[in-house]
Structure 1
Amino acid sequence: MQSSQTWIQALFYLALITVSLYFLQFYILSDRLMVSHHKVTLKKHPNLPLRFNSDGTFKILQVADMHYGTGLTRCRDVLTSEFEWCSDLNTTLFLKRMIDAEKPDFIAFTGDNIFGSSTNDAAESLFKAFGPAMAARLPWAAVLGNHDQESTMTREELMSFISLMDYSLSQPNPLDPTKQQVTTNIDGFGNYDLRVRGPPGSHLANQTILNLFFLDSGDRAVVDGFKTYGWIKESQLSWLRGASKEHNQEKYESEVSTFPIPSLAFFHIPIPEIRSGQFREVFGQYHEHVACSMVNSGVLKTLVSMGDVKAVFIGHDHLNDFCGNLDGVWFCYGGGFGYHGYGRAGWPRRGRVIVAELKKGKSEWMGVGSIKTWKRIDDKKLTKFDEQILWTLS
């Protein structure tokens, strides 16, 4: 009789354990499903097309070299009194302050957005680095530098991922119009152009009046046994010339505006001519030896022949924030923005602002009349300095 009771108790406990494991498995699975469902979201798109404001302005914030780590990665090259409390969060706060102060229409991130060797999760770092732009619901676009791919994603994966982020207008590469798919016969990842139309309600509302070109300047390479930085290849320049020609044809076909369509370009690594320093004019600080490729692929020659690119905005050399004029094209450094990137103690991090303004006729806008720029440093007042005019319609 006692043996029978023991057997019944054993069955009872076995059944209890089985039921408990079933419900535990159910709740764990349900929780995973809910988490998975929570993470599956559609991309949020900005209001398109990009266009000038009703006051005739279009403002761009350039953010160069954030070098974002994990979010709590410590700062480099700051004053001893600043080091204890300084991290990637200072970069985030600086970007938020710049957005609040300048209220840009568009943000251009010009490479080394994350410092790949300082994070073991590239996606998480990208979300944190670009977080303020997405939180502000601003259209933005990015190119890659030479450090972005040093974590868990290749350059192709990075640009594909960035193109899918909220409010991003980035593209892995231009679309092939004949196949309606991304072009595969072009070097690099992140070559594309964005068009900016006229103010709402104006006769220019449906016309492209400013172009923004983005190019992948590569990362590192070996040439004849020597290590060097990347460069913009001929396939990219060929695409650029074709895109420029297409835009210029639009100008001549327009019945309303006979004004030229100016363009701006954004990439990370400077060209060799900047190192040689054959500038017509220089405006700003030149504190650092220019780190460029030993290969001169003819970028400057191409831009001069095209005629529409009035200014190029670059990064890479954090201690340079100058604009230099080479054969009529301005090349402007953004200056180091991020706190985990190298800098100089006592030399504040900085960002650049670019503003295109339309020319006003007797009764209507007449196309882009000027392009100007200035910088702000990360101090208590976000001090504005070095304002200059890059181009005016002659």
Structure 2
Amino acid sequence: MKASILLSIVCAAASAVPAPSFHARNAHPHAASAIPDYPGIQFGANGKLDITVFSDLHFGEPSNERKDSLTTGVMNSVLDNEHSDLVVLNGDLISCEYVGPDQFNGIIDQVVSPLVYRNLPFAATFGNHDYSETCSTRSMASHMWWDIKGTNGKKLSFTTQSVEGPVEEIGWSNYFIPVYSSTDGSKLEMLLWFFDSKGGRVYQPGANQNRPTTSYVDKRVVTWFQNARDEFNKRHGRVIPSLAFVHIPVQATRAFQKSGKRGEFTQPGIDDEIVGHQDDCPGTDCYHGGDEVFMKALVETQGLISVFSGHDHGVDWCMKWSDDLPTKPTNGNGIHFCFNRHSGYGGYSNWKRGARKILVEESKLGNKEIDTWTRLEDGSISGRVTLNSTYGSDNYPKVDRLESWGW
């Protein structure tokens, strides 16, 4: 079924404003068209779009209500210290292995409560811990879409699904958000792509069969992405700049880490664990090539500035994939890949919590340039860099290893 509704996402932020309301023919979690008329957002009058990315929140762990309260505190601190036009929840919202089938949507309400309070629009991807026998990502996405509203009564969630197929294979957070010009609400300036890397277990409450999902972006999702991307470029007669968000990083990030090419001053950030990447092969540096099709599609996407991932709590640097790596493809044509800071008190961690910030300026899109940094819970900033043609050779202040506070 395809819904036919009039939808307006209202943003409370001062600089970015919502795009004009328009007919969102397929703006529904069951939509399957390659290029549906999704609602979008608009660059602010100052030509800027400010995105806050929370990753690995891990709400819902047993007997740890204090952890959830502390995680909400992290979100409130970041949002109080940073202007935000859009919030991205980039996977592992819930530690679903501990959550019953009658609990997960109530926990989602906890997760988004700081956003509801501020009337902030948001978009989510699902991570491996959001998939379990007792948690339905399909139901979570539907709850976000239909039920999560701001204090002003307006819809806040962009989270939806654009690809048909079994949820355990396709996932349930593959979609895009169009971003329109600050001066013309009908002129497309940028696309934000969201992908579901899955992992975890298949939703089957009471079955007790422990069936795993695949742990990479499915080929059918890649085909949808390529078709939609190419149709956008053809329709507008130019390459549309873009950013992408996916919870589990691609294997190229592990290859870069393993190569020893990361510099503490050229790619600043914490680097305290081995990168775990997309694939279905268990063990360190074990790889069956599960994400090669996805990596190839990313590399071939002109105008793609950066891909943002979470998953690895002890890593938060950015890399430019410009050198040859032992991957397929071997060279990333200069695409940047960035890790988010671990945001939640649930899940493993020895590092201060925070969120990745992304500042996009409309005037710099032609140069494929954005600024990004980490805003920490204590209000400080870590790892501020500019992702542009010279990133990887420019020097920045070294990021000290930041231990977490006891609690």
Residue 231 of structure 2 is aligned with which of 233, 238, 246? 246
Alignment of 1:157 with 2:156, yes or no, is no
* Corresponding residue of 1:332: 338
Is the alpha carbon distance of 1:160 and 1:228 closer, same or farther for their aligned partners in structure 2, counting shifts above 3 Å?
Answer: closer
Residue 310 of structure 1 is aligned with which of 305, 311, 315? 305
Is the alpha carbon distance of 1:130 and 1:72 closer, same or farther for their aligned partners in structure 2, counting shifts above 3 Å?
Answer: farther
Classify the secondary structure of the residue corresponding to 2:308: strand
Alignment of 1:289 with 2:289, yes or no, is no
TM-superposed deviation, 1:71: 10
Equivalent position amino acid for 1:285 in 2: I
Deviations 1:136-172 (A, max 9, x none): 1011010101111337432222222222222433343
Whether the aligned pair in 2 keeps the contact of 1:214 and 1:265 (CA below 8 Å) is yes
Alignment of 1:269 with 2:257, yes or no, is no
TM-superposed deviation, 1:55: 0.9
Deviates further, 91-100 or 290-299: 290-299
- After superposition, the CA RMSD in angstroms is 2.9
Deviates further, 101-110 or 370-379: 370-379
| Partner Cα distance (1:261, 1:44) in 2 | 23
Deviations 1:224-245 (A, max 9, x none): xxx8960011111111111211
Whether the aligned pair in 1 keeps the contact of 2:243 and 2:304 (CA below 8 Å) is yes
Question: Any residues of structure 2 matched to 1:1-394 within 5 Å, and which?
Answer: 45-47=9-11, 48-49=18-19, 50-69=41-60, 73=64, 86-120=66-100, 121-150=103-132, 152-164=134-146, 165-166=148-149, 167-174=155-162, 183-184=164-165, 187-199=170-182, 202=183, 204-220=184-200, 230-252=215-237, 260-277=239-256, 282-292=267-277, 293=279, 294=281, 295-326=290-321, 327=332, 328-344=334-350, 347-359=351-363, 370-379=369-378, 382-391=379-388
| Partner Cα distance (1:311, 1:61) in 2 | 15
TM-superposed deviation, 1:311: 0.4
Whether the aligned pair in 1 keeps the contact of 2:130 and 2:200 (CA below 8 Å) is no
Equivalent position amino acid for 1:190 in 2: S
Is the alpha carbon distance of 1:187 and 1:103 closer, same or farther for their aligned partners in structure 2, counting shifts above 3 Å?
Answer: same
| Partner Cα distance (1:99, 1:357) in 2 | 20
| Partner Cα distance (1:69, 1:212) in 2 | 29
* Corresponding residue of 1:10: none
TM-superposed deviation, 1:340: 1.2
| Partner Cα distance (2:70, 2:171) in 1 | 31
Classify the secondary structure of the residue corresponding to 2:79: helix
| Partner Cα distance (1:264, 1:320) in 2 | 20
| Partner Cα distance (1:285, 1:213) in 2 | 26
Whether the aligned pair in 2 keeps the contact of 1:143 and 1:268 (CA below 8 Å) is yes
Classify the secondary structure of the residue corresponding to 2:306: strand
TM-superposed deviation, 1:265: 0.5
Deviations 1:268-316 (A, max 9, x none): 1111121122568633221111112232332221111122221011111
Whether the aligned pair in 2 keeps the contact of 1:354 and 1:373 (CA below 8 Å) is yes
Equivalent position amino acid for 2:252 in 1: E
| Partner Cα distance (2:340, 2:48) in 1 | 20
| Partner Cα distance (1:336, 1:210) in 2 | 27
Is the alpha carbon distance of 1:271 and 1:228 closer, same or farther for their aligned partners in structure 2, counting shifts above 3 Å?
Answer: farther
Q: Aligned pair count?
A: 312
| Partner Cα distance (2:201, 2:131) in 1 | 14
Structure 2: gaps spanning 5 or more residues: 1-6, 12-17, 20-40, 150-154, 203-211, 282-289, 322-331, 391-407
TM-superposed deviation, 1:221: 7.7
Classify the secondary structure of the residue corresponding to 2:50: strand
Whether the aligned pair in 1 keeps the contact of 2:164 and 2:170 (CA below 8 Å) is no
| Partner Cα distance (2:236, 2:82) in 1 | 31
Classify the secondary structure of the residue corresponding to 1:301: helix
Is the alpha carbon distance of 1:228 and 1:324 closer, same or farther for their aligned partners in structure 2, counting shifts above 3 Å?
Answer: farther
Equivalent position amino acid for 2:384 in 1: E
| Partner Cα distance (1:184, 1:54) in 2 | 40
> Higher helix fraction: Structure 1 or Structure 2?
1
Is the alpha carbon distance of 1:99 and 1:44 closer, same or farther for their aligned partners in structure 2, counting shifts above 3 Å?
Answer: farther
TM-score, scaled to structure 2: 0.70
